[in-house]
A and B are shown apart, each in its own frame.
Chain A
């Protein structure tokens, strides 16, 4: 069965410093992996997705993630945090087209001025 673990429930960074949000997954097959962002009182928006092409995936707003099969990880990074990045971030896994998406519990990112 597939599962996803977000290793930090809350991450706090200063504006202009790097962001690292960690995600490990478990899957019996070659999974598809996603990062979604949720700003306060909003729906979720796709940041980026990995679907067995390039292992380094670039997304919107300067975010990127690297798929590491040997470590079963899909960490989200950004070189320089902006205040507007403050939000909840969800790592999501799907094993195949016939299985539903499985969401992590989320990581709340705070950005300090």
Chain B
């Protein structure tokens, strides 16, 4: 099992550009999540999904979009990148409900917007 994989590992964007962060898991987990981690802060939930075709907003969804067409993939789209979106992005998945199940994290994508 590769677990949760994320691409790219690093990316530099100019203000106003857009990009998609890819996330794939091979554990057949129904639940998937996107977080951002800013320096000296804990993780903040951007979006989550409880299964293919179902997504919902987390704590900080503005400026992002997601889709979940398959169980395995959960891409995060940034439209019109802004410096405030400079962060490290983590994708995670879990086999059960958010509050009870262990979440498995990918290695992260470090994004800089200049």
B45 touches which one: A51, A90, A95, A101 (CB < 8 A)? A101
Which A residues form the contact surface with B (CB < 8 A)? Answer: 9, 32, 34, 41-46, 49, 51, 90, 92, 94-106
- State the Cβ distance, B114 to closest chain A Cβ, in Å: 21
Q: How many A-B residue pairs have CB under 8 A?
A: 61
Tell me whether B42 and A103 are in contact (CB under 8 A). Answer: yes
Main secondary structure of the interface of B (DSSP, over half): loop
| Residue on B nearest A42 in the bound complex, by CB | B107
Tell me whether B40 and A96 are in contact (CB under 8 A). Answer: no
Tell me whether B42 and A105 are in contact (CB under 8 A). Answer: yes
Number of interface residues of B (CB under 8 A): 22
22 contacts between A and B (CB under 8 A): A34-B102, A41-B107, A43-B92, A43-B105, A43-B106, A43-B107, A44-B90, A46-B102, A46-B103, A90-B42, A90-B43, A92-B42, A94-B98, A98-B99, A100-B48, A100-B98, A101-B98, A101-B99, A101-B103, A103-B42, A105-B42, A106-B41
